A and B are shown apart, each in its own frame.
Chain A
Amino acid sequence: MKILVAVKRVVDYNVKVRVKSDNSGVDIANVKMSMNPFDEIAVEEAVRLKEAGVATEIVVVSAGPTQCQETLRTALAIGADRAILVETESELQPLAVAKLLKALVDKEQAQMMILGKQAIDDDSNQTGQMLASLLDIPQGTFASQVVVTDGKASVTREVDGGLETLALTLPAVITTDLRLNEPRYVTLPNIMKAKKKVIDIVKPEDLGVDISPRLKTIKVEEPPKRSAGVMVADVAALIEKLKNEAKVI
């Protein structure tokens, strides 16, 4: 079984972004970029499926500027076999990414697609579901466990209030939640080995996909600030404030 994993290069989760003074967006010049954390979990899951003998090949894909090759190298160092970069400097929205991925899935004939449930920059939580829809195949989103047997995937999902389990006929799309696995640390020998692996570069037009954005960002602003409150001396003072000032208990 061939698995296709999609990874996104995003501002590192430890960075607190700043809104640009002209309100055109957030300032990402000279900030640390990393692989989207949920995508790291997706790569790890694919590698574990290969180690378990379920998967035979892992193709990792990213879409964006040329620097996404660094993100792909990280995925190759975790254990993906080869990589494809859909290179573009243009803004990519989830629907466009889903279309690019669909074109690659059609070409690669992958049986399972694993994506992070959401990217921590635009927080959209759309691409996996859109890809499944475009491919007319089932989806198991927000997965905390994936078991593959006899052409079916049993996917346990994190839902409001608990867990639910679905049986999906492959091919299918899985999106990862945080408890699916704990990604391994990348070792130096594996980083060296990853340098020898192949990254193919294609352009959106090679895939015949129109990536023009559908949503226009009019402005980006700081959220309203919450003013800092007061420090209380002890538990008694806290209860007094909650009862008489805030009146919430």
Chain B
Amino acid sequence: MAALVIAEHDNLSLKAATLNAVAAALQCSPEVDILVAGNQSDAAAQAAAQIAGVRKVIQIDAPNLADQLAEPLAAQILALASSYTHVLAPATANGKNVLPRVAAKLDVAQLSDVTKVVSPDTFDRPIYAGNAIATVQSSDPIKIITVRTTGFDPVSAAGGSAAIEKHAVAADAGKSAFVGRELTKSDRPELTAAKIIVSGGRGLGSGEKYQELIAPLADKLGAALGASRAAVDAGYVPNDYQVGQTGKIVAPQLYVAVGISGAIQHLAGMKDSKVIVAINKDPEAPIFSVADYGLVADLFTAVPELTKALG
């Protein structure tokens, strides 16, 4: 009865989402191990060993694991899975990519985007863009779970002293290859880890206005940049800015929604934020029904005024 958490990392450092997944794992089992599969991943493995509450770290290094490709990564998890009752990963792009591969090979169901551990075999998860919460029970011998990070407070990244066990790499057919990566370069905080997020919607009218109005406000607040699907669809910003049912799920201390009407798909991604501010010229916009503070105003004057006043 132990749980395995798949670390989210880039070989050099551990991503914060791992800490939320460990928190969920500890509610499933008191014995939690972490898998760090990568290439030259010593730094990430050492960071994982510091996490409070972790029993041991399993480190597997191989060149084809450097980029977290689903096929070789799933092969490593499968080689370990039989020793565990629960295998968990944060519901990030990587976690969502790899875990269903593992579940299918084990012939078990996956529980996606779990927000609460009711008991070791029963979990809450949102369905229909978060408009309903389903409580589901798994009868499978191994529970494969992706963890919605906003549902679990992270465990401490320090204070642990788990041993690091190095394992040999399991074979993979090598039918997929990593070609390249094009990450959005930004000095701003990462969207899913930010304390403050400023998001823009179609009300902005153009990508230029997004840059002209939203970016300076975010800089003043030390905030990450977000957007509604409508703004992404309209081409104002890249898709990795998208907050919502089919984008990122966030829960910052402060979420500022500018020119966003508040479609249910968007609300699904941000309604667990601690404080929500909405600025919209339409007093009937649904975003106001979830906002703590609503300002009915023309965003083209209100946002610069706000940015200036924050001096």
Contacts and interface: CB of A to CB of B under 8 A. Distances in A.
A10 B173 CA distance: 36
Given A117-B246, A223-B130, A242-B254, 14 more contacts: A16-B131, A93-B109, A120-B129, A126-B103, A129-B100, A141-B70, A162-B182, A164-B181, A165-B178, A166-B177, A215-B136, A226-B271, A248-B196, A249-B221
A17 to B, nearest CB: 5
Contact of A139 (B101, B110, B196, B289): B101
Interface stretch (A65-73, A79-87, A130-138, A187-195): A130-138
Nearest to B308: A235
B117 to A, nearest CB: 14
A177 interface: yes
Interface residues of B, number: 89
A95 B239 contact: no
Contact of B277 (A154, A172, A236, A242): A242
Interface of A: 11, 13, 16-17, 19, 26, 38, 93-95, 98, 117-118, 120-134, 136-142, 144, 154, 157-169, 172, 177-179, 214-223, 226, 228-232, 234-236, 238-239, 241-242, 246, 248-249
Given A125-B112, A232-B294, A249-B221, A223 B229 contact: no
Given A141-B97, A231-B295, A235-B302, A214 B140 contact: yes
Contacts of B221: 249
Contact of A133 (B74, B112, B232, B271): B74
Interface string B179-214: 111111000001010001000000000000000000
Given A220-B134, A234-B295, A249-B221, A124 B71 contact: no
A235 B295 CA distance: 8
Contact of A214 (B92, B138, B196): B138
Contacts of B175: 137-138, 168-169, 172
Nearest to A243: B310
Contacts of A95: 103-104, 107-110
Residue from A93, A157, A249 whose CB has the most chain B CB atoms within 10 Å:
A249
Interface of B: 67, 69-71, 74, 92-94, 96-105, 107-113, 122, 126-140, 173, 175-184, 190, 192, 196, 221, 229, 232-233, 238-240, 245-246, 248, 253-254, 264-265, 271, 274-277, 288-297, 302, 305-306, 309-310
A227 to B, nearest CB: 9
B179 A154 contact: yes
A164 B294 contact: no
Closest 8 CB pairs of A and B: A129-B100, A229-B292, A162-B183, A214-B109, A130-B104, A138-B176, A133-B104, A133-B101
10 contacts: A120-B128, A134-B105, A139-B97, A139-B101, A159-B93, A160-B240, A215-B136, A217-B136, A231-B293, A246-B292
Nearest to B278: A229
Nearest to A213: B109
B232 A139 contact: no
B19 to A, nearest CB: 16
A226 B290 contact: yes
Nearest to B130: A223
A219 B134 CA distance: 6
Contacts of A125: 96, 100, 112
B34 to A, nearest CB: 19
